[in-house]
Amino acid sequence: MLTHIVLIRLKDRRPERIADTRAQLLSLAHGIETLRELEVGTDITHSERSYDLALITRFDDRAGFEIYRQHPMHVPVLAHMAEAAESTVAVDYED
């Protein structure tokens, strides 16, 4: 199993912008055949070190992850993230 975690800090941190980006991420939940699990969490502490959103996705293997990365449903979400995100950090691991 491969787990892909992304933390996202948005340029516009108003609640409605965070909700919009969360909805964009959740739109990936159905229709990508290699995506086994998807979770999107919204930060509740709003500290200086906080990121606004956490995306956690899981795949059977690296090949499934690569299909997801290039999937036509994922591409517009990436474009949204490129415009909306101030910064992102990610970790990918196999277990």
Domain residues for the domain of 63 are 2-94
Q: Kindly report the CATH number assigned to the domain that includes residue 9.
A: 3.30.70.100
Q: For residues 50 and 83, what is the distance between their CA atoms, to the nearest angstrom?
A: 20
How confident is the model at residue 86, as a pLDDT? 97
38-56 pLDDT tens trace: 999 999 999 999 999 999 9
Total structural domains in the chain?
1
* pTM assigned to the model: 0.94
Q: Tokens 């159905």 — which residue?
A: 30
Which residues neighbour 11 within 8 Å (Cβ) at sequence distance 6 or greater?
84, 85, 86
Supply the mean pLDDT for the chain: 97
The span from the CA of 88 to the CA of 82, in Å, is 10
Q: What is the pLDDT of residues 12-38, one digit of tens each?
A: 999 999 999 999 999 999 999 999 999
